[in-house]
Amino acid sequence: MPEAPNLNIPASASTVNVSIVNTTGTIYGLPVTQLFEPAIPGHDYLATPIYSFLIQHPALNRTIVFDLGIRKDFSAWPEGLLDTFKSYGISIDVPKHIREILDEQGVDTKSIEAVVWSHPHLDHTGDPSTFEPSTTLIVGPGVKKDVLPGYPAKQDTFILEADYAGREVKELDFTDSKIKIGKFPAIDYFGDGSFYFLDAPGHCIGHICGLARVTSNPDSFILMGGDIIHHSGELRPHHWHPLPDSISPHPFELSSSAPCPGELFHKLLRDGKEEPFYYPAPNKEGQQAVHFDPELARESIKKLQEVDAHDNILVAAAHEQYLLGVADFFPKPANDFLAKGWVQKTRWAFLADLAKAAGYEGKVEAAGDYTPRSKKE
Ligand SMILES: [Zn+2]
């Protein structure tokens, strides 16, 4: 295996506590080809659990929340947009607001200093007005100009003016940033090396990721990916993690002690064992663009591959279903992921989605207990 590239993360002994929050919201009926290509038969719809992250700095007594999931009262969206959803056969289910989920477990949500949008898409923006007026909303570069003001000043938007009225909206600016984490421009949020924002545009103007140091000596980090990828097949394989000849744990025979032959997937590779199965889908003429800039999105994914090369970094994208069978979720912490082996257990789990195309005829028994559905049953 080639040596992982140096990311030049500044040394620090400061850490934050991170919990991965399953926001309970789900989108049904999202065809994967809207998001990435080529089509691989049997992998038709995206399974979309939606994660947020609770980030607590115990030494400074400061708390932020990265991404908010879908708002519970999504009927508040402009009717025209809801109709568009229906016409595409997409449906949404949201049992709880994220603040309710945090409150139920006794998190002091009144003192949350900031909520963060990885990007201003409806499955990440929640409803900031459910938080205290003193809670700042943090967004990536260019987001204010791109999406504000919200509805009703603008008609075709899922962001409502009422969501952020009277609240400080702070836009990150990476231009003066002296720090680079790998190839990502970075901002040291708490000023002590415990948490960075990373500039990762492409899917959206102002798309950002978070990088939290969750242990020191040895260092380990959780990368909060937002939608830098929508499926791990856009990330892997890559130069530092080429498709192995034998894959363990077996991605679709969980209880099997025998590894899965990598050869099964060779016919699905697009360009050898060091290139991911999928690329972000290009925008098609006459259709609503899904990625703001698909080429730029791919550049951000290449930067992410350098991060993913490191076994002490857990890459957690917002919709990574295969964390479900392996990781601990809020209210449990995720700080001990390294000791618990989540990186190795989840690295190739996404191949379960490619079982049918790989010619596997048995019943797929995969880690993420979550079936992508064409529509809500
Ligand atoms: Zn998303």
Query: How close is the Cα of 206 to the center of ligand 1, in Å?
Result: 14
Give 199's strand partners.
208
Q: What is the pLDDT of residue 161?
A: 97
In angstroms, the CA 130 to CA 163 distance is 8
- Residue 369's pLDDT is 52
- 226 alpha carbon – ligand 1 mean position (Å): 7
Report CA dihedral (231, 95, 62, 67) to the nearest 10 degrees: 30
CB atoms under 10 Å from CB of 242, counted, come to 16
- At 255 the pLDDT is 85
Ligand 1 centroid from CA 299, angstroms: 18
Distance (angstroms) between ligand 1 centre and the Cα of 122 equals 8
Beta carbons within 10 angstroms of residue 324's beta carbon = 20
Please give the distance, rounded to the nearest whole angstrom, from the Cα atom of residue 217 to the centre of ligand 1: 33
First to last CA, the chain: 44
Q: What is the pLDDT of residues 123-179, one digit of tens each?
A: 999 999 999 999 999 999 999 999 999 999 998 889 999 999 999 999 999 998 999
Cβ–Cβ under 8 Å, residues 281 and 293: no
Under the banding of pLDDT at 50, 70 and 90, the label for residue 368 is low
What's the gap in Å between 25 CA and the centre of ligand 1? Answer: 11
CA–centroid distance, 18 to ligand 1, in Å, is 20
Tell me the average pLDDT across 189-196.
98
Q: Is the sign of the CA dihedral 303, 306, 309, 313 positive or negative?
A: negative
Lowest mean pLDDT among 127-131, 274-278, 314-318, 324-328: 324-328
Question: Could you tell me the distance, in angstroms and rounded to a whole number, from the CA of residue 291 to the centre of ligand 1?
Answer: 11
Give the pLDDT confidence of 273-313 residue by residue, as tens digits.
999 999 999 988 877 778 999 999 999 999 999 999 999 99
Q: Please, what are the domains in the chain? A: 17-354 (3.60.15.10)
Structure letter (DSSP) for residue 160: B
Which of 101-110, 183-192, 360-369 is least confident?
360-369
Residue 339: predicted pLDDT: 97
Question: In this structure, are residues 241 and 309 in contact, taking their beta carbons and an 8 Å threshold?
Answer: yes
- Amino acid sitting at position 55: I
Cα 35 to middle of ligand 1, angstroms: 10
What phi and psi values does residue 114 have, to the nearest 5 degrees? -155, 145
DSSP 11: P
Helix (H/G/I), strand (E/B), else coil: 45 = strand
- What is the spatial distance between Cα 114 and Cα 170, in angstroms, rounded to a whole number? 9
- CA 209 to ligand 1 center in whole angstroms: 13
CA of 372 to the centre of ligand 1 (A): 15
227 token code pair: 């939608």
pTM: 0.96
In the chain, which ranges are E strands?
A: 17-28, 36-37, 49-57, 62-66, 91-93, 114-116, 136-139, 169-171, 179-181, 184-188, 195-199, 208-215, 220-224, 246-247, 260-261, 279-280, 313-316
Q: Identify whether 149 is preceded by a cis peptide bond (ω within 30 of 0).
A: yes
128 Cα: distance to centroid of ligand 1 (angstroms): 17
CA of residue 227 to ligand 1 center, whole Å: 5
CA 144 / ligand 1 centre spacing (Å): 19
Give residue 10 CA to ligand 1 midpoint distance, Å: 30
pLDDT at 81 over 90: no
Q: Name the amino acid, one letter, at 263.
A: E
CA of 49 to the centre of ligand 1 (A): 9
- Name the residue with higher pLDDT: 365 or 193: 193
pLDDT at 376 over 50: no
Distance 343 CA to ligand 1 centre (A): 21
Contact assessment for residue 327 and residue 22, using Cβ atoms and an 8 Å cutoff: no
3-class SS of residue 213: strand
Q: Is the pLDDT score of 372 beyond 60?
A: no
- The rounded distance, in Å, linking the Cα atoms of 308 and 45 is 25
The rounded distance, in Å, linking the Cα atoms of 99 and 2 is 43
pLDDT at 88: 80
Average pLDDT value over all residues in the chain: 93
Q: How do residues 13-40 score in pLDDT, each as one tens digit?
A: 999 999 999 998 988 888 899 899 999 9
